Amino acid sequence: MLKCRTVWKKLAPLARASSTVCRQNVRRTGLTSSRIPACVPVAHMSTGPAGGGRENQLYILLVGAACVGGAIYTYRTVKGDSQRYQDRIEEISSRSYKRATAEPATPIQSEPSVILEPEPEAAPSLEPEAAPSLEPEAAPSLESEAAPSPEEPSPPAPDAEVAVPETTELPPGGPAPDSLKVPSHTPYLLIGGGTASFAAARSIRARDPGAKVLIVTDESDPPYMRPPLSKELWFSDDPSVTETLRFKQWNGKERSIYFQPPSFYINAEELNGAENGGVAVLTGKKVVHMDVRGNKIKLDDDTEISYDKCLIATGGVPRNLQVIERAGEEVMKKTTLFRKIEDFKSLDKVSRNVKSITIIGGGFLGSELACALGRRSTEYDLEVVQMFPEKGNMGKVLPEYLSNWTTEKVKSEGVKVISEALVKSVVCKDDKLEIKLKDGRLVKTDHIVAAVGLEPNVDLAKSAGLEVDSDFGGFRVNAELQARSNIWVAGDAACFYDIRLGRRRVEHHDHAVVSGRLAGENMTGANKPYWHQSMFWSDLGPDVGYEAIGIVDSSLPTVGVFAKATAKDTPKAATEKSGTGIRSESETEDTATSPVASLTLAPTVEQHQDEYGKGVIFYLRDKVVVGIILWNVFNRMPIARKIIKDGEEHADLNEVAKLFNIHDD
Amino acid sequence: MSYCKQEGKDRIIFVTKEDHEAPSNAELIADDPNDPYEEQGLILPNGDINWNCPCLGGMASGPCGSQFKEAFSCFHYSKEEVKGSECIDNFRNMQECMQRYPELYPQEEDKESSQAEASSSSVSAAPTEGSALPPETDSTPATSTSDSTSLIDNQTAS
């Protein structure tokens, strides 16, 4: 403080001097015409020559010191940051070698490279193996633009240009497709053969007459729906269900999990010649490389297919627990990561042959499988255990009181629930698996089902130079599901911007249908954003069923409005009444009804203290309803959708709850 | 009587039927029927057919999609006294195509895929034989008379 004052005292006269000189200069430069020179000497007199010299020296010294200090600081910051950046790159590259699946671009994206040019896309191209020419240094990001784009005289604008040169590094190789089967060009290419892809195919065909659509999937099955794999198929009476994959709906009609029978699709080789177009499915082929600039992809057998419009609907791969991965092959052989038809088949077989199955994971899939297997436990003398780190089933979705209530229901389905369980290690001993928990408990079982989440499949992000979201995972796309010109992403793999609810990534069936359909519409020129909110549902036993919409996260404040349930409020009754199939409203076909199975196995329903029999639960974010669960209340989804769409603040949510008429059937 | 309890950040309200008898005073924003973002029903605001309507199922996108579109369009825009009477050929084409894919278009009396044409069923009075177009109610195209077996997007304009 004092120093400042002394310094100021010394500088003040100088300041005054310079300010007066400035003023005089201004006047001199022509604002007034007369008498100026007279003023000038006055200023100078206030500082004598000797004092002026010393003052000047001090002044120069101080300014000089400041400059040098500033320069040193800048230099060190920049150096330190580039060093930090280097370290981070190394860490990430070493990490990417450890991980089974290649996910190179993801972590780097988030790195706010302190680099002076804000070019986040520059980051993925700085992968160690990929771009040796690019230097991870502060300034030369400019150079890096020039270097790897030899073909194009560096266009100033697109940042993505930096990432794109990736693709040119790979040899164009024998572009001629070696097999006659596969067309070398298709107007519409859909990568991935799941729900989103099929919905897009249908949408494209509906809007573009005679469209030729090629679906490429690495699975061996044509597109099918997943919900029955953990619900309806388990309740089927048919012993050959694992072959037919058909399930009976409540109106007696059967349907297959396949969206369409094989005759719906045309053969890939006939696609180009088809007069009215069609949908062709190429199974057992994986897309390994995507050339965005050249608008073409390469399959694992080196076939190249070029496209006009492309949809990426690669879905995801089930996550595994690290403890299981590290536990060795013996343990892995007795572990199921449940997602596909073959997983259903193998788990069905296992469940008939073992004495005990443990499901790790307390979310949708884990709980549904637990209930399905629990239903079988009486038939097959099977012990079903479910363990998860949360306090209750659906702990991340339902508010605590409801999660606890649901857990009791799951237990009554014949499941042994172990909550607050963190798996420490798994070993295989005497042909049995021993799961040791962090709190010391030991669980012995024959088989493990890991339902601990989904890892979105973004393998193509690197070659395609597409952005991957760091918060939610998946490909980052805009509100119209577009990643780049001619490339859209839908389904589980899409992290999109929801105009109402913000950026998110949704892993539900109806979302796959809605987003797939929207992507198809936009691929045919609709330019519509994601607006129709998708819903999801789950059933846990015959007494607990709910439909939900929006953001349903148990960490949000909730308001639940409940009534007492009557016997009529069960999922089974609901579907019988409405005759609707899968409760997905975007489904186009008649589809399966609720999973509730034969009455013979109905567990003894104790409606004793059914406090949470039926009701509506609102999830709030900043006082606005962003999510709604309809708890054992069915066929009211349009109202819920409307409330979310409005995005209004409602003072009394009880009044809003009245709109649902929860007491009525 | 209703009562309320609070568990941390979660509020729980229990209501009886009487509590909810009074009409709600919650305000909802009026919908714009011409909102381009919204899902449309079978008929778009400008009068065109929405081929992407979930209510049509796979009719417009399958192997017989183009025949179906022609037939249905012809019917929709028909201004004849007997609506669609000039569309016989189109419907015949469609039926022939469908007969080639019995798996996709089952030929029973009340098959679901015919529901979408139920609205065009007045043509069935004409000599199209076979069960492809069972005479159902003579409804306007705006409301798809598909019965509950096919899911209609709840925002179908009607």
Q: Is residue B71 pLDDT above 80, yes or no?
A: yes
Q: What is the pLDDT of residue B3?
A: 83
Best mutation site among B4, B5, B13 for testing chain A: the one with the most A CBs within 10 Å? B13
- Dihedral angle at the C-alpha atoms of B117, B123, B126, B129, nearest 10 degrees? 0
Whether B39 has its CB under 8 Å from any CB of chain A: the answer is yes
- What is the CA A300 to chain-centroid distance, rounded? 25
Least confident of A53-62, A118-127, A324-333, A496-505: A118-127
- The reply to whether residue A399 touches residue B154, judged by beta carbons under 8 angstroms, is no
Cα-flanking dihedrals φ and ψ of residue A483, to 5°? -90, -45
Q: Is residue A107 pLDDT above 60, yes or no?
A: no
Number of domains in chain B: 1
Query: Is the CB of residue A468 less than 8 Å from the CB of residue A461?
Result: yes
Q: Quick check: is B11 in a domain?
A: no
Q: What is the pLDDT of residue A94?
A: 63
Q: What is the pLDDT of residue A572?
A: 62
Q: What is the pLDDT of residue A378?
A: 81
Residue A646 has what DSSP assignment?
Answer: H
**3-class SS string, A19-31:** HHHHHHHHHHHHH
Best mutation site among B10, B25, B53 for testing chain A: the one with the most A CBs within 10 Å? B10
Q: Quick check: is B78 in a domain?
A: yes
Q: Is residue B118 pLDDT above 60, yes or no?
A: no
Q: Which stretch, A65-79, A80-94, A385-399, B74-88, has highest mean pLDDT?
A: A385-399
Q: What is the pLDDT of residue A56?
A: 86
- Residue A170: CA atoms inside 13 Å, Cβ hemisphere, count? 20
Place of tokens 């899409």: A494
Query: Is the CB of residue A445 less than 8 Å from the CB of residue A432?
Result: yes
Q: Quick check: is B99 in a domain?
A: yes
Residue B102's domain spans which residues?
A: 42-107
Per the model's pLDDT, the better-predicted residue between B118 and A183 turns out to be A183
Using a CB-CB cut-off of 8 Å, the residues of chain A touching B37 are 528-529, 531-532
Least confident of A56-65, A244-253, A464-473, A595-604: A595-604
What sign does the CA torsion over A30, A36, A42, A48 have? positive
Whether B100 has its CB under 8 Å from any CB of chain A: the answer is no
Q: Which stretch, A434-443, A597-606, B130-139, has highest mean pLDDT?
A: A434-443
Please report which confidence band the pLDDT of residue A415 belongs to, taking 50, 70 and 90 as the band edges: very high
Query: Is the CB of residue A105 less than 8 Å from the CB of residue A127?
Result: yes
Least confident of A47-51, A306-310, A478-482, B137-141: B137-141
Q: Quick check: is B21 in a domain?
A: no
Q: Is the pTM of this model over 0.80?
A: no
Check which CATH number belongs to the domain holding B76 and give it.
1.10.287.2900
Sheet holding A494-498, edge to edge: A475-476, A494-498, A502-504
Please report which confidence band the pLDDT of residue A642 belongs to, taking 50, 70 and 90 as the band edges: very high
Using a CB-CB cut-off of 8 Å, the residues of chain A touching B29 are 646, 648
Of the candidates A469, A531, A464, which has an alpha carbon nearest to the alpha carbon of residue A494?
Answer: A469
- The reply to whether residue B150 touches residue A202, judged by beta carbons under 8 angstroms, is no
Q: Which of B12, B17, B104 sits opposite A560 (nearest CB)?
A: B12
Helix (H, G, I), strand (E, B) or coil at B129: coil
Q: Which of A278, A521, A585 sits opposite B151 (nearest CB)?
A: A585
Residues 6+ apart with CB under 8 A from A259: A195, A198, A222, A223, A224, A225, A589
Per the model's pLDDT, the better-predicted residue between B115 and A75 turns out to be A75
For chain A, the average pLDDT equals: 80
CB atoms within 10 A of CB A434: 15
Residue B151 has what DSSP assignment?
Answer: P
Please report which confidence band the pLDDT of residue A628 belongs to, taking 50, 70 and 90 as the band edges: very high
What mean pLDDT is predicted for residues A287-292?
Answer: 96
Whether A652 has its CB under 8 Å from any CB of chain B: the answer is yes
Whether B150 has its CB under 8 Å from any CB of chain A: the answer is yes
Q: Quick check: is B94 in a domain?
A: yes
Instruction: Quote the ipTM score.
Output: 0.72
Using a CB-CB cut-off of 8 Å, the residues of chain B touching A517 are 52
Q: Is residue A36 pLDDT above 70, yes or no?
A: no
Q: Quick check: is B55 in a domain?
A: yes
Whether B70 has its CB under 8 Å from any CB of chain A: the answer is no
Nearest CA in chain A to B105: A264
Using a CB-CB cut-off of 8 Å, the residues of chain B touching A253 are 149
Percent of chain A scoring above 90 in pLDDT:
58
Per the model's pLDDT, the better-predicted residue between A49 and A450 turns out to be A450
CA pair distance B120, B128, nearest whole angstrom: 13
Q: What is the pLDDT of residue A296?
A: 95
Q: Quick check: is B98 in a domain?
A: yes
Least confident of A243-247, A436-440, B53-57: B53-57
Whether A662 has its CB under 8 Å from any CB of chain B: the answer is yes
What mean pLDDT is predicted for residues A619-645?
Answer: 95
Q: What is the pLDDT of residue A566?
A: 54
Best mutation site among A590, A616, A621, A639 for testing chain B: the one with the most B CBs within 10 Å? A590
Q: Could you tell me the CA-to-CA distances from A44 to A35, A36, A112 in Å, in that order?
A: 17, 14, 52
CA pair distance B57, B147, nearest whole angstrom: 13
Helix (H, G, I), strand (E, B) or coil at A9: helix
Q: Quick check: is B59 in a domain?
A: yes
Burial class of residue A256, CB neighbours in 10 A (0-12, 13-18, 19+): middle
Residues 400 through 419 of chain A touching chain B, CB cutoff 8 Å: 400-401
